[in-house]
Amino acid sequence: MEMRNDSPSRLTAEIKLVPPWAWILAVVGFIGAQALFGFFAWQKNGLPFWAAVVVGIAAGVFLAFYVLFIGYISRDAKRRGMSVMLWTLVAIFVPHGLGIVLYFLLRQRLGAVCPQCRREVNADDVYCPKCAAPLADPGAQRTGPT
């Protein structure tokens, strides 16, 4: 008998960070790309129909993922204590998707919670700054989400 794991995966939890406005804009952008390249397929000397479909789908997928990444960055930067406005603008305006890559390379680690006083602490702290409880074995290497 196969057991199902009903706990959400980490990927599912990360996808849920993307705000609704980003999903809506991604769908609108995808449909807009289809309409734009479909229009070019009907022009007299335009693209062949098959090329317009392929290019429209590729452009729509690219645009949708770009918008979804920007939405993710706007939420993820906030939970990591980073400047939301700065990183969202970097992701939008640094060309060729390099702003998105920069965000993922330079983002701060997620914070942790003190098991004793439940205060949010820096992920690199060994002791809680409020109650001085040990957060991790000082000799152990810390692993976890970045």
- Separation of alpha carbons 37 and 31, rounded Å: 10
> 128-145 pLDDT, tens per residue?
888 888 876 554 444 545
Cβ neighbourhood burial of 23 (10 Å; 0-12, 13-18, 19+): middle
pTM of structure: 0.74
CA contacts within 13 A on the Cβ side of 57: 5
> 14-63 pLDDT, tens per residue?
999 999 999 999 999 999 998 888 777 777 777 787 888 888 899 999 99
Q: What is the pLDDT of residue 128?
A: 83
Question: Three-state SS for 113?
Answer: strand
- Separation of alpha carbons 15 and 84, rounded Å: 18
> 71-122 pLDDT, tens per residue?
999 999 998 888 999 999 999 999 999 999 999 999 988 877 888 888 877 7
Percentage with pLDDT > 90 across the chain = 45
> 109-129 pLDDT, tens per residue?
887 788 888 887 777 778 888
Residue ranges per structural domain of the chain: 18-108, 109-140
Q: What is the pLDDT of residue 137?
A: 57
